[in-house]
Amino acid sequence: MCATWRMSEGSTYFAYLQSEDRQYGPEGNVRVVTTPYCEWEGKKMMIGSSWKTTGCEECSCTDSGLSCSGSGIYMVPDHCLLVVDENCQTDVVDADDPFSPCGMPQFHRGK
Question: Do 84 and 41 belong together in one domain?
Answer: no
Burial of 108 (0-12, 13-18, 19+ CB in 10 A): middle
Question: Do 52 and 97 belong together in one domain?
Answer: no
- The predicted pLDDT at position 11 comes to 80
What total of structural domains would you count in the chain? 2
Continuous segment of H or E residues that includes residue 33:
strand 31-40
User: Rounded to 5 degrees, what angle do the CA atoms 9, 60, 18 make?
Assistant: 115
Half-sphere CA count of 71, side-chain side, radius 13 A: 18
User: 14 phi and psi, to 5 degrees?
Assistant: -135, 140
- The letter for the amino acid at 47 is I
- The predicted pLDDT at position 40 comes to 95
Q: Global pTM?
A: 0.67
Question: Do 86 and 34 belong together in one domain?
Answer: no
- The predicted pLDDT at position 103 comes to 74
C-alpha dihedral, 86 to 45 to 71 to 11, nearest 10°: 150
pLDDT truncated to tens, each residue of the chain (111 aa)? 333 344 445 788 899 999 999 999 999 999 999 999 999 999 999 999 999 998 889 999 999 999 999 877 778 888 999 888 888 888 899 999 999 998 765 544 554
Question: Do 57 and 84 belong together in one domain?
Answer: no
Question: Do 83 and 49 belong together in one domain?
Answer: no
